[in-house]
Homo-oligomer: A and B are copies of this chain.
Amino acid sequence: MFFASDNSGPVPPQVIDALSRANAGHVSGYGADALSLSVADRLRDLFEAPQAAVYLVPTGTAANVLALALLCPPYGTVFASPVAHIHEDECNAPEFFTGGAKLTLVPGSDRMTPDALRAAIEGEQNRGVHGPKRGPVSITQVTERGNVYSMNELHALTAVAQEYGLPVHLDGARFANAAVKLGVSPAQMSWKAGVDICVFGGTKNGLMGVEAVLIFDPARAEEFEYRRKRGAILFSKHRYLAAQMDAYLTRDLWKDLAHQANARCDQIIQGMKGLGVSVLNDTHANMVFFDAARSVHRALHDAGVAYNIWGALDGDPQQQIMGRLVCDWSLEPAQVSAFLDHLDKAV
């Protein structure tokens, strides 16, 4: 039972098949092959953005930090949640790729509120060149604590950014899970909601390692291309990135995979509610954050359930500790049921 991460499961057979099919003959490198060009068109279609510049990169961090490098000068600051992936999980990559920009953490936890965002932006205004210049607002959807911003919440955040003339980056490592949860289109959850550069994640939703970056202002395309190459991230055999994304877009595979992951998450939440376990994220897509006594975590761990906890397994058995369960597309309902049985015994 593996709930540690959505990067731990296998990829669906369609992805392997697409790689096999793409593996024939000689083609141009660096994204100039027919399949890569076609996939870019398909992404523009999906996002209803015929002018967008569209690129594939192999990691979510690469997608995020290249986007931030376009939006934030080295003397600027990025407004982000204190638990944002770009702050907590990318080892200074945003600082590196922007050339030394800062992150201004918006007070609060996980989800940013418009008021807190405005206060953070105001807080960076008074020092002239002594402080950084205000840069982009970075929003994560699904958030790192498993919440999904509603469309109203998303619009409210981007409205604050627009009020100050600041661009918006969307970290969509779990874009599919959020879009499926909200029942909205990619366009609705990106440029129609005020997003300037959107990361459309594939890796956490069933690909081996591909993320799309959608830059809705094509004037930024050239800079992206230079920065991607300089960032050592441009694939020579680009068709193998394109093939994965092609499979992802075919017959809405990306939605199906997200549906499956989200459904397993629903199953967990229902089970936990029945067991009286305290679920922490009030909205959710494919992740469950919950509090439980250390003894419960210990019992689950001993039963072979893999997931993250915020603390050590050793210590006061009554202490409440936060745990995180992540469902990937490949989990079976039976695996979730087995987990819930273990949880039932543990609580």
Contacts and interface: CB of A to CB of B under 8 A. Distances in A.
A10 interface: yes
A129 B238 CA distance: 15
Contact of A93 (B4, B73, B231): B231
B223 A236 contact: no
A302 to B, nearest CB: 18
Contact of A74 (B89, B90, B99, B132): B99
A58 interface: yes
Contacts of A175: none
A73 B231 contact: no
A119 to B, nearest CB: 14
A200 to B, nearest CB: 16
A59 B209 contact: no
Pick the most buried of A5, A91, A97: most chain B CB atoms within 10 A of its CB: A91
Nearest to A7: B236
Given A24-B10, A88-B130, A130-B91, A233 B59 contact: yes
Given A26-B8, A306-B26, A127 B93 contact: no
Interface in A58-80: 58-62, 65-66, 73-77
Contacts of A301: none
A101 interface: yes
Interface of A: 2, 4-5, 7-11, 16, 19-20, 23-29, 58-62, 65-66, 73-77, 88-93, 95-97, 99-103, 127, 129-133, 203-204, 208-209, 222-223, 225-237, 240, 306, 328, 330
Contact of A230 (B4, B28, B96, B237): B96
A234 B10 contact: no
Contact of A130 (B65, B89, B101): B89
A63 to B, nearest CB: 8
Contacts of A60: 236
Contact of A100 (B26, B88, B96, B232): B96
A209 B240 contact: yes
A8 B236 CA distance: 8
Nearest to A130: B89
A69 to B, nearest CB: 9
Nearest to A24: B10
Contact of A92 (B7, B25, B96, B230): B230
A28 B19 CA distance: 23
A129 B229 CA distance: 6
B16 A20 contact: yes
A301 B91 CA distance: 46
A232 B97 contact: yes
B27 A8 contact: yes
Nearest to A8: B26
B10 A25 contact: yes
Contacts of A204: 236
